[in-house]
Amino acid sequence: MPADSIRSVTLSTVTLPLGRAVSDAKVFTGRQKPMTEVVLLFAEIVTEQDQYGLGFTYSKRAGGPGQYAHAAEVAENLIGEDPNDIARLVTELEWAGASVGRSGLATQALAAFDVALYDLKAKRAGLPLAKLLGAHRDSVRAYNTSGGFLNASLEEVKERAGRSLEEGIGGIKIKVGLPDGAEDLRRVQGVREHVGDGVPLMVDANQQWDRATALRMGRRLEEFGLVWIEEPLDAYDVEGHARLTRALDTPVATGEMLASVAEHERLIEGAACDVIQPDAPRVGGITRFLRLMALADQRGLDLAPHFAMEIHLHLAACYPRETWVEHFDWLDPLFNERLETKDGRMLVPDRPGLGVTLSDRARAWTTASVSFGVR
């Protein structure tokens, strides 16, 4: 028998309303509707020794109910298991639901368990997750995305950019990919002039350019000294990304939409980006993310994880070379704690585990919950 074992698992799905509907290029090309909410799946794991771990995954626009349903089907497999054996347990959960595959929605659902097990393990050790994994630094360069969406006017984007810099965030990312490329260029030029040449600036086309447009726009954007051009092409166009990476001086970033290690391996092996942007909840959790970090480091890629800064701050701090973490304030109402930014960087909290606890508002926004092993 293990020294400790999992006594209960509780799953909760939470619908987080956004204060304002947001639109990126996919809305302006007619492929999606404006985003009004984020649906999260939380996993809370408690052991016989009353150790507690919290993990989460998320979905945007669709998939939340499916994640919850899949997680609920396999959660009972964790009861009685040793919580330290994270890799083994995640593999068992994958095989428990293998008939629906090991990528996409199924993988994303399992990420909540994986993250909760790591949170628990770090808390048991009395360490922040980054310290448990082996950090290279105590802070990570941070850039803001939530102020740069296309539904906002240029003046509003500039105002939000200035405010972010005043709050200690180091870089600014804005959305591009409009049907009118001239308007994209006007907005980028306006923000660059507003923040100055010394501020790191990124753009994100959200997969809405074809190869010819991406090359043409990429060349026009060279003059703005961008840190990277993000998702210029369809996420699965490895060959197109590789060609663009070779053709442009500006680094190319992509990877956030890929939902497995295997998909990222094709991207890495194809030399299809300069900056890789995996998302731990989307690839199945921290276990899988660590494998990706090793592959990316071996190829000398830069790393900038997507969204979910509450998880990714810890992981980015463990990458051998300097990284970026994406600052979104959307999830702030869900947690009692806040991540601190200073001098352009986000500070790794000294609290054990992820360093966050669920707020009363998160509990109030819960639309469904189920527990296993409670007695």
pLDDT for residue 253: 98
List helix spans (H) across the chain.
25-28, 64-74, 86-96, 104-125, 129-133, 154-166, 181-195, 211-221, 238-247, 261-269, 280-283, 286-298, 309-316, 360-364
With a CB cutoff of 8 Å and minimum separation 6, the contacts of 245 are 251, 252, 271, 272, 273, 274
**Is the pLDDT reported for residue 1 higher than 90?**
no
pLDDT average, residue stretch 286-307? 96
pLDDT class for 87, splitting at 50, 70, 90? very high
pLDDT for residue 99: 77
Of 123, 175, 241, 264, which one is the catalytic site residue? 175
pLDDT for residue 375: 64
Of 306, 312, 314, 327, which one is the catalytic site residue? 306
Q: What percent of the chain has pLDDT over 70?
A: 99
**Is the pLDDT reported for residue 350 higher than 70?**
yes
348-349-354 Cα angle (round to 5)? 95
pLDDT class for 102, splitting at 50, 70, 90? confident
**Is the pLDDT reported for residue 105 higher than 90?**
no
What would the CATH number be for the domain defined by 130-347?
3.20.20.120
What would the CATH number be for the domain defined by 6-126+359-372?
3.30.390.10
Please name which of 101, 105, 55, 103 lies closest in space to residue 78, comparing C-alpha atoms.
Answer: 55
Is there a catalytic annotation at residue 306? yes
Cβ atoms 260, 107 nearer than 8 A: yes
**Is the pLDDT reported for residue 279 higher than 80?**
yes
**What are the boundaries of each domain within the chain?**
6-126+359-372, 130-347
pLDDT average, residue stretch 126-130? 98
pLDDT average, residue stretch 94-102? 80
pLDDT average, residue stretch 347-367? 96
323-328-330 Cα angle (round to 5)? 155
List pLDDT tens digits, range 27-86. Answer: 989 998 998 999 999 999 999 999 999 999 999 988 889 999 999 999 999 999 999 999
pLDDT average, residue stretch 260-289? 95
Is there a catalytic annotation at residue 342? no
The letter for the amino acid at 241 is: H
pLDDT average, residue stretch 194-200? 96
